[in-house]
Structure 1
Amino acid sequence: MRDLMGLMGKAKEMQAKFAALQEEIAQLEATGQSGGGTVKVTMSGRFEMKSLEINPSLFKEEDVEILEDLILAAHNDAKQKVEQAMQQKTQELTAGMPLPPGLKLPF
């Protein structure tokens, strides 16, 4: 019975740590770029696009498709950086815990 109470206490402690981790990740921001920095996207830890910067040299009517591709590339770069930061923070929190492969925490 004592082991069960200890386990329940640890579960509540982990739950509180995961809640704190979720909040910390939500506050993360990552900036992705493409086209040598001519397009930049800043994204939150919740994968919300926070800002978009486009170098004015790209505003030519014949370059619209290139600009669209660069925006997508910058967005994907920012998303990848947020995912890497989330993975690192989750690994720090769960160090030593046996978790099933492929389990994504906290989201």
Structure 2
Amino acid sequence: MAYDEELADRIRELVQDESGLTEKKMFGGLAFLIGGHMAVAAAGHGGLMVRSDPAKADDIVDDVVISRMEMRGRPMGGWLRVTEEALADEAILRRWVDHGVTYARSLPPK
């Protein structure tokens, strides 16, 4: 499954003014990197991948809208998935894009 290009455009609109922004096709999706760190991605399997503090991820997961990302059946620490259905709400998309960007900005530049 290819990533949702409409979702990628919506993300792009939200992050276009961020300094140090790059886009890169990764994991079947389109990732948005800040300072060399992936912040969010339009996931290849649908929905939004969001970078988060691994120590706080368990407090965020609700297993309905927000779940831990898994790749090849293994959980990825510090990565969350927001469902496609939730992203129809622009405020929810903005919240999670901001979350990922804020966390990526907290990391030392690569």
Q: Which has the higher helix share?
A: 1
Relative to its length, the structure with more strand (as a share) is 2
TM range (shorter): under 0.3
TM-score, normalised to structure 2's length? 0.27
Which entry has the higher C-alpha Rg, 1 or 2? 1
- TM-score where L is the length of structure 1: 0.28
